[in-house]
C-alpha cells in the first residue's frame, strides 16, 4: 500500500481516488483555497459537491493550510489543479515537497512562448524549478471524471521523462477498468490533449447552428459536426508538428476530442455561440465559469499569430483556430470559413 496525496479537490483529481482506494492505497485530498466547501462536504459524509458522487470510504481530507502535514510520508503527489491554478501550484506546492517525491499532474493545458512555440505544464514546471530534478509526470487522454468515478472502462496515457517511474505509477493506479499506456513524449501527449479543448469548442458550434435553425432538441446535423471534426484533426496535427511532437500523439488527442464534444461546459459554450450569442453573453449564461477551452484557444492562437508575423506559418493553415479566437477575443459572430477547409491532394 502506498500513501498518495492529492492536491486540488477538482472533479478529475477526486475521481482518481476511486481506483486508488480500490487498490488499497491511503489517499489524502488537500483542497486549494477555492476548495474549502468541497473539503468540508467530504469531511461530513464523503459527498463531493461538484463531482456529485460519494467518494470511497477511508480518504483523509485536509484544508490548504495543512498541506505540509498531508504531504508528510507520501510516496506520490497527484496535482489536481485546473490550468488557472498552475501558478499557485508552482509557487505554493512544489517548493514544499521533497526532491524525491514524484509528481503526477492531471492539469491539461500549455503555454505559448515568445518565439511562437508551445510547451506543456510539466516543461514549464521544470523551467521554473531550475535544477531540482523533480520527477514531473502527467496524465492525458479521453477520460471524463464522472465515468471514471463510476468505474467505466477508461484508457489514458501517463507521460514523463523516466519510463521506470511511469511503470511504478501505472502499478499504483491501474485496475480492471482504468487502463494506462505510457509515453516519454511529455510535450506530445500534453499538447495533444490540451488542444482538444479548443477544437471541441469549434465542433460544438455546429450543434448551436443546427438548433438555431431548427430549435433546441431538434435532430442534430452530423455532416457539419463531422466536417469541423475533420478540420480540427488537420489543424491539431499541424500544431503538434510545430511543437516538435510525434504524429502518434494525435491518437490520444482524437480520443479526448471525441469525449469532450459530447458534454460539459465547453460543448455548452460552443452551442451558445452557435445560437448567435456573443462570447460575453454566452459566458454570462454560463455564470462566468472559467473554461480551459478559452485559455487554451487564446494561448494556441497567440503562438500561431506570432509565427505568422515571423513568416513561419500561414493563416490559411489554421482557419478554424483563428476563427474561434476571433469569436472569443474580438467578438466576431460565428461564420465558419467552410471554403477554407477545402484542399487539393496529389502530385
CB 195 within 8 A of CB 296: yes
Residues 6+ apart with CB under 8 A from 117: 242, 243, 303
Residues 6+ apart with CB under 8 A from 313: 116, 242, 304, 307
Residue 37 host element (H or E)? helix 36-45
User: Which one, of 258, 112, 109, lies nearest residue 190 by Cα?
Assistant: 109
CB 126 within 8 A of CB 143: no
User: What is the SS3 string spanning 233-264?
Assistant: HHHHHHHHHHCCCCHHHHHHHHHHHHHHHCCC
Active site residues: 196
Give the three cell numbers for residue 174: 491501474
User: Which one, of 171, 310, 168, 342, lies nearest residue 242 by Cα?
Assistant: 310
User: Which one, of 79, 69, 75, lies nearest residue 32 by Cα?
Assistant: 79
pLDDT digits (tens, 9 = 90+) for 63-76: 999 999 999 999 99
- What's the confidence (pLDDT) of residue 194? 94
- What's the confidence (pLDDT) of residue 288? 61
Q: In the structure, what pLDDT confidence band is assigned to residue 273 with cuts at 50, 70 and 90?
A: very high
pLDDT digits (tens, 9 = 90+) for 110-156: 999 999 999 999 999 999 998 788 999 999 999 999 999 999 999 99
Look at residue 85 and tell me whether its pLDDT is greater than 80. yes
Query: CATH 3.40.50.720 spans which residues of the chain?
Result: 3-184
- Rounded Cα–Cα distance for residues 206 and 273 (Å): 10
- What's the confidence (pLDDT) of residue 1? 85
Average pLDDT, the chain: 94
Rg of the Cα trace of the chain? 20
| Segment 273-300 mean pLDDT | 89
- Rounded Cα–Cα distance for residues 269 and 273 (Å): 6
Q: Partners of 139 in the beta sheet? A: 158
The domain made up of 188-341 has a fold known as 1.10.1040
pLDDT digits (tens, 9 = 90+) for 192-229: 999 999 999 999 999 999 999 888 877 878 999 999 99
Residue 105 host element (H or E)? strand 103-105
% residues pLDDT > 90 (the chain): 89
Look at residue 263 and tell me whether its pLDDT is greater than 80. no
- In the block, cell 461530513 appears at 44
Query: CATH 1.10.1040.10 spans which residues of the chain?
Result: 188-341
Please count the residues of the chain. Answer: 347
The domain made up of 3-184 has a fold known as Rossmann fold (3.40.50)
Amino acid at each position: 500500500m502506498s500513501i498518495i496525496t492529492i492536491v486540488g479537490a477538482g472533479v478529475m483529481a477526486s475521481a482518481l481516488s476511486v481506483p486508488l482506494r480500490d487498490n488499497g492505497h491511503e489517499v489524502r485530498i488537500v483542497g486549494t483555497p477555492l476548495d474549502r466547501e468541497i473539503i468540508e462536504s467530504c469531511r461530513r459524509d464523503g459527498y463531493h459537491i461538484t463531482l456529485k458522487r460519494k467518494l470511497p470510504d477511508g480518504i483523509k481530507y485536509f484544508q490548504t493550510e495543512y498541506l505540509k502535514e498531508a504531504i508528510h510520508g507520501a510516496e506520490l503527489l497527484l496535482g489536481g489543479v485546473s490550468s488557472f491554478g498552475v501558478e499557485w501550484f508552482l509557487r505554493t506546492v512544489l517548493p514544499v515537497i521533497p526532491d524525491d517525491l514524484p509528481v503526477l499532474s492531471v492539469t491539461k493545458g500549455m503555454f505559448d512562448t515568445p518565439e511562437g512555440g508551445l510547451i506543456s505544464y510539466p516543461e514549464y514546471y521544470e523551467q521554473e524549478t531550475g535544477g531540482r530534478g523533480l520527477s514531473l509526470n502527467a496524465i492525458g487522454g479521453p477520460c471524463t471524471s464522472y465515468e471514471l468515478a463510476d468505474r467505466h472502462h477508461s484508457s489514458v496515457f501517463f507521460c514523463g521523462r523516466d519510463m521506470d517511474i511511469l511503470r511504478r505509477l501505472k502499478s499504483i493506479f491501474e485496475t480492471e477498468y482504468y487502463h494506462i499506456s505510457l509515453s516519454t513524449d511529455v510535450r506530445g501527449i500534453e499538447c495533444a490533449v490540451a488542444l482538444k479543448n479548443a477544437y471541441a469548442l469549434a465542433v460544438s458550434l455546429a450543434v448551436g447552428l443546427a438548433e438555431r435553425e431548427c430549435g433546441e432538441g431538434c435532430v442534430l446535423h452530423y455532416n457539419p459536426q463531422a466536417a469541423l471534426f475533420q478540420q480540427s484533426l488537420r489543424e491539431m496535427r499541424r500544431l503538434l508538428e510545430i511543437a516538435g511532437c510525434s504524429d502518434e500523439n494525435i491518437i490520444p488527442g482524437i480520443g479526448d476530442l471525441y469525449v469532450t464534444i459530447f458534454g460539459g461546459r465547453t460543448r455548452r459554450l460552443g452551442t451558445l455561440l452557435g445560437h448567435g450569442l456573443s462570447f460575453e453573453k454566452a459566458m454570462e449564461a454560463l455564470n462566468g465559469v472559467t473554461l480551459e477551452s478559452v485559455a487554451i484557444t487564446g494561448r494556441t492562437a497567440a503562438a500561431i499569430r506570432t509565427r505568422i508575423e515571423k513568416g513561419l506559418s500561414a493563416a490559411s493553415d489554421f482557419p478554424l483556430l483563428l476563427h474561434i479566437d476571433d469569436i472569443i477575443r474580438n467578438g466576431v459572430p460565428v461564420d465558419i470559413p467552410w471554403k477554407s477547409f477545402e484542399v487539393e491532394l496529389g502530385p
